[in-house]
Amino acid sequence: MSIRIENIQKHFGRSRALSPIDLDIRDGELIGLLGPSGSGKTTLLRILAGLENADPHPSARIHFGERDVTRVHVRDRRIGFVFQHYALFRHMTVADNVAFGLTVMPRKSRPSSAEIRSRVYQLLEMVQLAHLADRYPAQLSGGQQQRVALARALALRPDVLLLDEPFGALDAKVRQELRRWLRHLHDELNFTSVFVTHDQEEALELSDRVVVMSEGRIEQIDTPEALYRAPANRFVFEFLGDVNTLEGDVRNGVLTCGDARLNAELPQGPQTLLMRPHELTLGHAPTSDAHLPVTVTAVVPVGADLRVELSADWLPAPWLVSARHSDVAELSPQRGQRLYARPLQWHRFDADGQRLDAPEELRLSA
């Protein structure tokens, strides 16, 4: 079921939680709302669910498919909602939790208790927890509780599944597993899902499209790949990953900053270049186009990559370079070692944070 949001805004007292927002979500999409805390992403999700009212405005509308749900009560919106801390009913068994939505249906439309039982069993099979049907929530691990919460939310076959920081309270490995499993479930059952997260990795891994938010505004809506490759503005760029900053003065095609020099065909005057950790390389000697002397302050292996932390007098904040082990084997960086950095490409944004141009690539001259 597609979702169309038009001109939705929200104030809490005098503070603005959401600027007027428009958003179209296609049928069957898995959408991630990504942003720092206070960006309005949870407020937007709760307004979608009907747990919060948007500010009244004649043109404020929420459509689920053809159905206008702007003024429809939560209980009639046909949504499934998964809470950050699961919100399982602690005095009910796992099976009773999953059955809750079915047992509170009006007597006329309620399935028979045998039907409810078999439906609950199906759902528990689906989340691989059928063997724990008679346990209480407190006897389950966090990951298991979250799967029960999902089964409960899906019991009424909702049009739309909404998830508020669904994996936020779980440890890294369980989070990974559940993410993959949710993606799988989404593709199999083909409902439309919107989830909130502050974890950029989670948003990029799980979503068909990511909505990046800050301060109640939508900064960018794009596929994870496009978002990472071409962030629309500085906020998105900085929020989606580690950033190295080089600030200097450009004169006649050379940027200088203390001891550091870099050949760059840029307009005269002060310039700020931003680079991802993988957009920098390291070497024993300066090259003809880059003279950026740095000192290694830490070397941390992270999976297949090596993260090297660098500092220099001319750097206000340390740099981070990530490289594959094999690529730096010859260099074997050690703490305290003097090396030279060299950007492969950089990003520039104007004073308002808007992107200035496509990533510029330094031509490697042998």
Partner 1 sequence: MQRIGDAPALRRLLIGSAVILAALFLLLPLVAIFSQAFAKGLGTFMVNITDTYTLSAIGLTLFITVLTIPVNLVFGVMLAWLVTRFTFPGRRLLQTLIDIPFAISPVVAGLVYLLLYGRNGWIGSWLDTHDIQLMFAWPGILMVTIFVTCPFVARELIPLMQAQGSRDEEAAVTLGASGFTLFRRVTLPNIRWALLYGVILTNARAVGEFGAVSVVSGAIRGQTNTLPLHVELLYQDYNTVGAFACAALLALIALLTLAAKAGLEWRTARRESVS
Residues that bind partner 1 (CB under 8 A): 49, 51, 74-76, 79-81, 83, 85, 87-91, 100-101, 104-105, 136, 138-139, 152-153, 155-156
Each as own residue / partner, the long-range contacts of residues 119-122 (CB below 8 Å, 24 or more positions apart, any chain) are 119/155, 120/95, 120/155
**What is the Cα–Cα distance from 5 to 22, expressed in whole angstroms?**
5
Tokens matching residue 185: 């479930």
- Measured from the CB atom, the residue of 46 and 234 that comes closer to partner 1 is 46
- Measured from the CB atom, the residue of 138 and 285 that comes closer to partner 1 is 138
Please state whether 303 falls in left (phi above 0), alpha (psi between -120 and 50) or beta. Answer: left
- Measured from the CB atom, the residue of 160 and 227 that comes closer to partner 1 is 160
Least distance (Å) between residue 355 CB and partner 1: 39
Least distance (Å) between residue 137 CB and partner 1: 8
**What is the Cα–Cα distance from 223 to 57, expressed in whole angstroms?**
31
Least distance (Å) between residue 250 CB and partner 1: 54
**What is the Cα–Cα distance from 101 to 88, expressed in whole angstroms?**
12
- Measured from the CB atom, the residue of 50 and 343 that comes closer to partner 1 is 50
Of 284, 278, 279, 286, give the one whose Cα is nearest residue 296. 284
Helices assigned H by DSSP within 190-348: 200-206, 224-229, 234-239
- Measured from the CB atom, the residue of 161 and 274 that comes closer to partner 1 is 161
- Measured from the CB atom, the residue of 71 and 85 that comes closer to partner 1 is 85
Of 160, 153, 156, give the one whose Cα is nearest residue 48. 160
Least distance (Å) between residue 79 CB and partner 1: 6
Tokens matching residue 37: 């805390």
Task: Report whether 282 contacts 329 (CB < 8 A).
Answer: no
Least distance (Å) between residue 143 CB and partner 1: 17
Least distance (Å) between residue 138 CB and partner 1: 3
